[in-house]
């Protein structure tokens, strides 16, 4: 790109010239649209299709101070065979853990299709020096993590230092190498849908393979409207550049019914091409069992009890 | 030997000017030759009123109030002439006071007639009165001055422009009023006053597709026919009263506009 | 292998996702074979002796037979209303009158599922809309006006309101029950009695409403419902016992009614056609604006008098808006009105379908470019694919005439002045939309648009507290809100004002 003449602050050229405008989001309208889509009635084979897909899209997550190799082992076996009594149930997409648990996770999922994702960059606050965050990413990639879930520097974003946020993502992307980079916006701290859209475009411009709503450490996590705003940003980037970026809502998705709503929204916003774990993940822990219960209910016709599904 | 007075030529009031009828016709009323307007004068008057509408309706309420008050001032200065052309001093004083009363309404009726509406969804919603546009007014045949003032004031205070058919038997007070209005900061075209035969002119006004409302309060003759003609472009037909003043007379020439906007961050 | 196992084997990217049919149960509605006229609290056989079938437009199948009220029937209904007005209803204390309306509101809420299904069956509109829009709003209208019944003297400062008498009300087929609510609720709150004529093609929800009145124990004759075609409406307009006419429908018929009533002194309100502009500025929140465009014109198959049927897009964002719009159109689900996932239902009648087709053909002939998403329509029934016309000139018929169908005409503009000029360049003036993130621009454009309802950064929102009605040839009088009471009241103003 040719060097442009200097402009006053606020007049910088777009980071990615083919994204012509950041634009804005109308809160009421986007919430109404999300609510309308959530009222779709998905039944029988269409529901089974969605539930099966949901399982394959789950990033089964544990991010606790009390995580141990034992806990990871249990979770890994759940990830590989979510319902031992039903071999028709696919494996989940990935295990999502803290850096220290990456080796244990890798060991347990070996030979399966389940990937290992590690959070990094001073998760969940992101309030550490950039070089430390980058070093952490190098470490988890070296350990063999398939995917890196980073957090953006919300302090920098909210004080208007977008370049800092952007540069950091670029550096992390570089440090991630072949590992897939998911960029967590922590939407619960951004305050407005306008900010969510701006952060989404910023993250994608800086090289994110996925954009992700939340760390799961805040009460305000993924919601249907905030996810819709991010999907629309993904759609704009695809329209302008042909690049497909993935989406991961995380936190707060606990019921199968919600998972179906998220998938309806995905399907009607980005189309069938995005209905794959390569481009959509659901970050969750308790969701899996509810999905399994619903699948069995659809297959047997009887309502189910949690007593028949393992807790790991 | 007494001096021979200079007599006035009674002409139309159209677009802020005082032309003769394009037809060159006059008729005799109250002992004077008065211009007898034609359908083409009606057409020209509507055109002048339409042209004046954007600016007058966009004038601030405060300003419109002052302009109306100025009409009262100008009438006061001509009170003696008006008294000679109407039933007398009392009618003139009431007419002047009516202008003052309506002048005071200019920046108040929107608060009385409008509303903010507590809708059951996250939107801010309000309703405001707006002038309907060009209003055709059949001034009451009598009282010569009080009639036209009572019907004209609520029309123009609300930002409308008017084409008035003056009292046919007693048109002189209307022309005198036009002269007061012409010197009262009322922009040209806001008020247009035509004298002549109402049975000839009224159907053209009622059927005119660029007139938005028709005030038949002072109407005479075949009113049902005028109403039928008014339906051609869904005119608002007003049957108000000439013997009183009321903000609801202003309301009769107002549209209501409701605006919605989401409340979000 | 189970289905699930097979699915695991195939490509992770499915070609699509077919939502299984999700039909709302139809059996909640029990239809009679034949309906009489609701006069004086009873369903009675028409003196005319004539009946005609009413259809399910999505299947072209008859649902029931309804009566064709003739002059004698109209007379009877008006007399029943007059009798109820003079002998009882106008003497009931306003607070008690209010309670009848509250009852009606509650019963509508309780039976909303039944009404929603019937509304979709008889009208062709998606159940999603009758369930989420028509029914809640209908009940809300009764609830809102109920509270006014004993507070009328607070609504009009320094006036003394009183009921008019018998209100004749003629309503359209696009929102049969909601239009009934818009008309009946304020009329009763103001103390009048009613003769209501539902639209020829959609009489059934009004006839079911008669059963609501029975449950509410409304005194006989306070509301009378007479079915029939345009001839019945004409008889009602002409009837000398009617004190007020309220009409919602086409501008053509509205003008005829205004002519008919000339010289009678009867009160009249008209809510007529529209050709609303929906103006999108280049700084608008685009995805939401596109939703607003879709909601503006495809809501209720475009059978909406205030539909945003003329899209005015600022040229600098023309391409992304049209691209997004086309993409969105491809996700619209057209089909069975009773399927809970249907976005666009059936066209209300053969007659209306022919009119839409005729205007669309004229658009193509005049040189506009047509876009219709790929769409499988049912073989039977009246259907029309959601349509967008681009390259439309202001002079084309599709930019001037009300189509009353799912057909959008797209025009462009360069400056705000041009947008306003084009938006106002029509004999209609019912509604308009404006989309921009700039607050001062919203207020300026909203002020300059000559229309009764302005939706800024939204479209097609309705609420009982919000007055609705048109400028110019879109009619006069308002429905909804405090202002919606005025058409149903007379005023004893002799003491008002000075001099």
Quick: pLDDT tens for B143-157. Answer: 999 999 999 999 999
Residue A5, pLDDT score: 47
Residue C7, pLDDT score: 37
Query: Hey, are the CB atoms on B262 and A192 less than 8 Å from each other?
Result: no
CB < 8 Å to A52, chain C: 4, 7
Closest CB to A276: pick one of C12, C21, C292. Answer: C12
Rg (CA), chain B: 19
The answer to whether B149 and B174 have CB atoms below 8 angstroms apart is no
Residue B210, pLDDT score: 98
More confident residue, B95 or A4: B95
Distance CA C177, CA C202 (A): 9
**If you average pLDDT over every residue of chain B, what do you get?**
97
The tens place of each residue's pLDDT in chain C, 499 residues long, gives: 334 333 343 345 567 899 999 999 999 999 999 999 999 999 999 999 999 999 999 999 999 999 999 999 999 999 999 999 999 898 899 999 999 999 999 999 999 999 999 999 999 999 999 999 999 999 999 999 999 999 999 999 999 999 999 999 999 999 999 999 999 999 999 999 999 999 999 999 999 999 999 999 999 999 999 999 999 999 999 999 999 999 999 999 999 999 999 999 999 999 999 999 999 999 999 999 999 999 999 999 999 999 999 999 999 999 999 999 999 999 999 999 999 999 999 999 999 999 999 999 999 999 999 999 999 899 999 999 999 999 999 999 999 999 999 999 999 999 999 999 999 999 999 999 999 999 999 999 999 999 999 999 999 999 999 999 999 999 999 999 999 999 999 997 644 433 3
Closest CB to B263: pick one of A28, A191, A192. Answer: A28
Confidence check: pLDDT of A21 > 50: yes
Residue A3 is among the residues annotated as catalytic for this protein: no
Query: Hey, are the CB atoms on C456 and B120 less than 8 Å from each other?
Result: no
C-alpha atoms less than 13 angstroms from C-alpha of A73 in its C-beta half-sphere: 3
Closest residue of B to A193, CA-based?
B265
Q: What is the DSSP string of A76-134?
A: HHHHH-S-TT-TTSPPPSEEEE-GGGHHHHHHHHTTSS-EEEEEESSTTT--S-HHHHH
Residue A279, pLDDT score: 98
What are the pLDDT digits (tens) for B31-87?
999 999 999 999 999 999 999 999 999 999 999 999 999 999 999 999 999 999 999
Distance CA C471, CA A117 (A): 61
- Going by the DSSP 8-state scheme, the letter that residue A9 receives in this structure is T
Confidence check: pLDDT of A257 > 80: yes
Residue B129, min C-alpha distance to chain C (Å): 10
Closest CB to A30: pick one of C2, C7, C288. Answer: C288
| Contacting C residues, span 452-481, partner chain A, CB-CB under 8 Å | 457-458
Query: Hey, are the CB atoms on C452 and B223 less than 8 Å from each other?
Result: no
The answer to whether A143 and A156 have CB atoms below 8 angstroms apart is no
Query: Hey, are the CB atoms on C454 and B256 less than 8 Å from each other?
Result: no
The answer to whether A232 and A274 have CB atoms below 8 angstroms apart is no
Residue C9, pLDDT score: 38
Q: What percent of chain A stands above pLDDT 70?
A: 93
Residue C95, pLDDT score: 98
**Of the residues C24, C271, C402, C473, which is catalytic?**
C271
Query: Hey, are the CB atoms on B117 and C498 less than 8 Å from each other?
Result: no
What are the pLDDT digits (tens) for A178-187?
999 999 999 9
| Residue B222: its H or E element | none
**Of the residues A153, A236, A248, A290, which is catalytic?**
A248
Residue A123, pLDDT score: 97
Residue C331, min C-alpha distance to chain A (Å): 6
pTM for the whole structure:
0.94
**Of the residues A59, A146, A149, A209, which is catalytic?**
A149
Query: Hey, are the CB atoms on B115 and C469 less than 8 Å from each other?
Result: no
CB < 8 Å to A191, chain B: 265
More confident residue, C15 or B93: B93
Residue C319 is among the residues annotated as catalytic for this protein: no
* Contacts of A among chains (3+ CB pairs under 8 A): B, C
| A273 and chain B in contact, CB less than 8 A | no
Indicate the pairing of strand C267-271 with strand B115-116: unpaired
Inter-chain contacts counted by CB atoms under 8 A, chains A and B: 14
Query: Hey, are the CB atoms on A28 and B265 less than 8 Å from each other?
Result: no
For the residues B219-230, what does the mean pLDDT come to? 95
Residue A286, min C-alpha distance to chain C (Å): 22
| C427 and chain A in contact, CB less than 8 A | no
Closest CB to C457: pick one of B227, B257, B261. Answer: B261
Closest residue of B to C260, CA-based?
B228
Residue C207, pLDDT score: 98
Query: Hey, are the CB atoms on B244 and C499 less than 8 Å from each other?
Result: yes
Closest CB to A268: pick one of C5, C288, C331. Answer: C331
């Amino acid at each position: 790109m040719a060097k442009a003449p200097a402009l006053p602050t606020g007049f910088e050229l777009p980071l990615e010239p083919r994204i012509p405008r950041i634009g804005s989001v109308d809160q009421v309208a986007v919430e109404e649209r999300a609510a309308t889509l959530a009222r779709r009635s998905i039944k029988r084979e269409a529901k089974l299709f969605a539930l099966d897909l949901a399982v394959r899209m789950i990033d089964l997550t544990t991010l606790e101070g009390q995580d141990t190799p034992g806990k990871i082992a249990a979770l890994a076996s759940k990830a590989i065979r979510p319902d031992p009594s039903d071999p028709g149930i696919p494996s989940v997409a990935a295990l999502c853990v803290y850096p220290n648990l990456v080796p244990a996770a890798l060991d347990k999922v070996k030979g399966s299709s389940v990937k290992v994702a590690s959070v990094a960059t001073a998760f969940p606050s992101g309030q550490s020096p950039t070089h430390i965050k980058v070093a952490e990413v190098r470490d988890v990639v070296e350990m063999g993590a398939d995917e890196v879930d980073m957090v953006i520097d919300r302090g920098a974003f909210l004080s208007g230092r977008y370049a800092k946020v952007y540069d950091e993502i670029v550096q992390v992307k570089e440090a991630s190498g072949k590992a897939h980079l998911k960029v967590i916006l922590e939407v619960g701290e951004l305050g407005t849908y306008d900010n969510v859209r701006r952060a989404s475009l910023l993250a994608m411009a800086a090289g994110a393979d996925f954009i992700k709503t939340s760390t799961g450490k805040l009460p305000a996590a993924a919601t249907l409207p905030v996810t819709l705003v991010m999907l629309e940003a993904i759609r704009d980037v695809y329209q302008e550049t042909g690049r497909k970026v993935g989406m991961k809502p995380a936190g707060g998705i606990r019921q199968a019914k919600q998972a179906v709503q998220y998938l309806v929204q995905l399907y009607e916003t980005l189309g069938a091409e995005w209905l794959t774990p390569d481009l959509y993940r659901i970050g969750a822990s308790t969701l899996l069992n509810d999905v399994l219960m619903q699948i069995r209910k659809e297959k047997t016709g009887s309502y189910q009890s949690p007593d028949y599904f393992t807790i790991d | 030997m007494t001096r021979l007075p200079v007599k006035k030529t009674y002409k139309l009031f159209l677009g802020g000017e005082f032309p003769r009828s394009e037809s060159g016709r006059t008729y005799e009323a109250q002992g004077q030759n008065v211009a007898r307007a034609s359908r083409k004068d009606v057409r020209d008057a509507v055109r002048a009123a339409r042209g004046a509408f954007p600016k007058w309706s966009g004038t601030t309420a405060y300003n419109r109030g002052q302009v109306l008050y100025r009409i009262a001032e100008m009438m006061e200065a001509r009170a003696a002439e008006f008294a000679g052309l109407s039933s007398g001093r009392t009618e003139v004083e009431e007419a002047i006071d009516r202008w003052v009363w309506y002048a005071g309404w200019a920046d108040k009726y929107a608060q009385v007639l409008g509303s903010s509406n507590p809708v059951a969804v996250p939107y801010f919603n309000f309703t405001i009165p707006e002038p309907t546009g060009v209003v055709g007014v059949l001034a009451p045949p009598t009282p010569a001055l009080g009639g036209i003032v009572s019907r004209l004031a609520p029309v123009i205070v609300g930002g409308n422009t008017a084409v008035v058919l003056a009292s046919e038997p007693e048109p002189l007070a209307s022309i005198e009023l036009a002269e007061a209005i012409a010197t009262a900061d009322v922009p040209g075209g806001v008020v247009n006053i035509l004298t002549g035969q109402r049975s000839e002119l009224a159907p053209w006004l009622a059927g005119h597709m660029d007139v938005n409302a028709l005030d038949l309060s002072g109407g005479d003759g075949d009113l049902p026919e005028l109403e039928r003609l008014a339906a051609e472009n869904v005119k608002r037909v007003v049957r108000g009263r000439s013997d009183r003043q009321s903000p609801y007379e202003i309301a009769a020439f107002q549209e209501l506009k409701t605006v919605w906007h989401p409340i979000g961050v | 292998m189970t289905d699930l196992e097979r699915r695991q084997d195939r490509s992770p990217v499915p070609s699509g996702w077919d939502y299984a049919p999700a039909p709302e149960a139809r059996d909640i509605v029990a239809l009679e074979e034949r309906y009489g006229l609701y006069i004086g609290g009873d369903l009675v056989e028409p003196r005319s002796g004539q009946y005609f079938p009413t259809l399910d437009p999505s299947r072209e199948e008859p649902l029931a037979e309804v009566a064709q009220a003739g002059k004698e029937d109209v007379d009877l209904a008006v007399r029943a209303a007059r009798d109820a007005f003079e002998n009882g209803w106008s003497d009931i204390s306003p607070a008690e009158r209010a309670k009848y309306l509250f009852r009606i509101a509650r019963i509508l809420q309780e039976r909303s599922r039944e009404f929603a299904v019937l509304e979709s069956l008889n009208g062709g509109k998606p159940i999603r809309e009758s369930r989420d829009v028509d029914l809640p709003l209908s009940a809300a209208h009764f609830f809102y006006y109920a509270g006014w019944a004993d507070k009328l003297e607070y609504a009009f400062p320094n006036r003394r309101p009183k009921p008019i008498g018998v209100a004749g009300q003629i309503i359209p087929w696009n929102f049969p029950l909601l239009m009934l609510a818009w008309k009946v609720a304020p009329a009763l709150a103001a103390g009048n009695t009613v003769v209501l004529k539902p639209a020829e093609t959609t009489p059934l929800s009004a006839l079911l409403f008669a059963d609501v009145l029975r449950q509410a124990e409304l005194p006989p004759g306070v509301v009378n419902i007479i079915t029939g075609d345009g001839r019945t409406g004409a008889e009602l307009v002409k009837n000398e016992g009617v004190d007020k006419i309220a009409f919602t429908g086409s501008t053509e018929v509205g003008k005829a009614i205004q002519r008919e009533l000339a010289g009678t002194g009867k009160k009249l309100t008209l809510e007529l056609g529209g050709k609303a502009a929906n103006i999108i500025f280049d700084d608008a929140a685009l995805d939401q604006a596109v939703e607003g465009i879709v909601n503006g014109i495809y809501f209720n198959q475009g059978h909406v008098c205030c539909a945003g049927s003329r899209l005015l897009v600022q040229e600098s964002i023309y391409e992304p808006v049209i691209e997004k719009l086309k993409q969105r159109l491809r996700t619209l689900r057209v089909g069975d009105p009773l399927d809970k996932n249907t976005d666009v239902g059936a066209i209300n009648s053969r007659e209306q379908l022919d009119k839409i087709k005729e205007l669309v053909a004229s658009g193509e002939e005049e040189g506009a470019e047509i876009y219709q998403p790929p769409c499988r329509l049912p073989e039977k029934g009246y259907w029309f694919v959601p349509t967008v016309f681009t390259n439309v000139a202001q002079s084309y018929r599709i930019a001037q005439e009300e189509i009353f169908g799912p057909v959008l005409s797209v025009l462009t503009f360069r400056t705000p002045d041009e947008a306003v000029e084009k938006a106002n360049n029509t004999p209609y003036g019912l509604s308009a939309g404006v989309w921009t993130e700039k607050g001062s621009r919203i207020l300026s454009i909203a002020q300059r648009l000559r229309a009764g309802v302005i939706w800024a950064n939204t479209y097609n929102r309705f609420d009982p507290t919000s007055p609705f009605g048109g400028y110019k040839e879109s009619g006069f009088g308002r429905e909804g809100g405090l202002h919606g009471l005025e058409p149903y009241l007379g005023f004893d103003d002799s003491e008002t004002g000075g001099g």
